[in-house]
Structure 1
């Protein structure tokens, strides 16, 4: 039996994480109460993905990675940790809304895997994702049957494959040919996770990256018809929309194959569009929604995708006014609002004893 001293230390640690999460999630109390996720009895979360959900794996392999240097982490209580943002990520807020302490990266030594593991690695492609799911997933501190109440999140897979293809000079049509192979990798990964006992799986779609500052700078054109009504690049967004359509069809197939497993699609695309369309009501500067706070067309006035955030590229004075942080990753406050949209959409589809009271409207006219 643990000593009173050890129990007290555990209590202090748990209270500290509870305070951090609750404090961080109080940007606006008029938002839906997604703490109802706690009623879903999720006891651990496992996450795979790329830099959008990497909490420190990439920097173990690459210690000079910019995400481990200031100003990254400027609004995170631990400072720079390898999170590619100024603050918390969607995966962090998801943990908080489930009532769990923040997860540790898989590659970090002396990590606590009691409540799950984060396998996400910045820069991951579908091929590297396939390797992770085939060879590297070890459910730490997990006995048989422990995945029954676990939530398994497959992160954001595929976007880097298309980005790398386009950055090498391939056409949109060439990148589109990759979609079936990327989706097949995701399907194989889901089947493997189910075979290991996974019962609740969330698979995010891709963001509309034609609205991202780095994409805007890289593929800037004088052809007005290349842009939509939000001034996002249509061809890039159409590519990601095709990926999302294929993915949703794949989820239907996987659900038919596994009727007792809950497999959910997380609609990152429309969550981000909602964020853009309601930027002013949510406290963002509507004039900067297509700019990065740090580099890539933001405060530094940089106009090259190689102008990465960090010395000597400064950050804006108030990241909470920006949706985008560094041109390709969101700022912490944007992650918070995206999590509210995504979790509120997810709760009704999980086996939860409570539901979100008002999923479709924020009470002051910002509709989900």
Structure 2
């Protein structure tokens, strides 16, 4: 979800294979293979950029990574991502495939560049069909468990709240302060994705196709930030270039003139578009042990088999 003119979604769908260890060491799956964008990338884009001798993106510079790794790793957060809180080893049949989150970049790059939400809405069926096509290929290769995340509530991101700021109060959700129109857009993507996933499941009854509801898992802390320790709220970015939501598309996080909060764990938003490690941890726990997957993940992999750990992801 990096705010650049280049979209990486199709690139990552083909290239990115992330191996991650944490909750599932000695658990239900021997490995996790993750396809996705910056919500799942543990350093592949950083490595590729270096190999191609391209200038580093802002997200490869401090203060990214400061909380857990104490240096930038290529993760778009202050620390670990959702994938870092989930396991690992080998073999397709016994692996958990995390397919996404995919679609965010296709929509963000267009919307943040000023394209109308109606125009970008026409992209959704194509994005979803691409996801479904890849899932079908994985199933044909022997995948037995595929976890497919939906999109996050983009109307709650500091970037959208800044760039689409309005004096019209009817555009905002009274409870969360999020932009209604953009959250409905994310819901549209997710609804179409679920419909297509159900069709895949019907065709492949011996495969577990699991929908991961990132949207509503995240809405927990957007609705009640203090409950999850986000005493500085869920909308304002920890790291950014100032303003009401500490987001400035001309002064991104890691810019020498940007500022970074002293306690990232009290924020849900990291840099305007991405979340903090603390927020990702809430989402991962909600998926693995709560009701935010369909079917519920802990019905397929019992909670008793989960092993908490710090966990690190190795690069491809």
Calculate the TM-score normalised by the size of structure 2: 0.81
Q: Does 1:82 align with 2:74?
A: yes
Q: Counterparts of 1:355 and 1:256 in 2: how far apart (Å)? A: 28
Is 1:44 aligned with 2:31? yes
Separation in 1, partners of 2:249, 2:299: 39
Q: Let me know the Cα RMSD of the aligned residues.
A: 2.2
How far off its partner does 1:159 sit?
1.6
Query: Whole-Å Cα distance in 2 between the matches of residues 77 and 304 of structure 1?
Result: 26
**Helix, strand or coil at the partner of 1:215:** helix
The SS at the match of 1:201 is strand
Distance 2:58 2:38 in 1: 12
Task: Give the alignment partner of residue 306 of structure 1, picking from 225, 242, 250.
Answer: 250
Q: Which has the higher contact order (CA 8 A, sep 6+)?
A: 2
Distance change (3 Å), C-alpha of 1:297 and 1:156: farther
Q: CA 1:289/1:352 → structure 2, altered by over 3 Å: closer, same or farther? A: closer
Q: Which structure's CA Rg is the greater one?
A: 1
Q: Give the CA deviation at 1:297.
A: 4.5
Aligned partner of 1:69 among 53, 61, 71:
61
Aligned to 2:100: 155
> Which of 261, 277, 294 is 1:316 aligned to?
261
User: 2:188 is matched with which residue?
Assistant: 242
Structure 1 contact 217–296 (Cα < 8 Å) conserved: no
Q: Distance in 1 between matches of 2:124 and 2:247?
A: 30
How many residues are treated as equivalent by the alignment?
Answer: 275
How far apart in 2 are the matches of 1:147 and 1:224? Answer: 50
Q: Distance in 2 between matches of 1:329 and 1:147?
A: 30
The residue number in structure 2 matching 1:172 is 117
- Could you state the TM-score of these two structures normalised by the residue count of structure 1? 0.70
Q: 1:231 deviation in Å? A: 1.1
**Please, which moves more after superposition, 154-163 or 195-204?**
154-163
Structure 1 residues without counterparts, runs of 5 or longer: 1-16, 22-34, 101-114, 116-141, 357-368
CA distance in 2, matches of 1:49, 1:306: 26
> 1:292 touches 1:298 (CA, 8 Å); kept in 2?
no
Match of 1:56 in 2: 43
C-alpha distance after superposition, 1:79-127 (max 9, x if no partner)? 21101111111000113xxxx4xxxxxxxxxxxxxx2xxxxxxxxxxxx
Question: CA 1:296 to 1:153, structure 2 compared with 1: closer, same or farther past 3 Å?
Answer: farther
- 1:46 aligned counterpart, secondary structure: strand
Q: For the Cα contact (< 8 Å) 1:298–1:316, is it kept in 2?
A: no
Gaps in structure 2 of 5+ consecutive residues = 1-19, 51-55, 291-295, 307-316
Give the Cα separation in 1 of the matches to 2:80 and 2:259.
20
The structure with the largest strand share of the pair is: 2
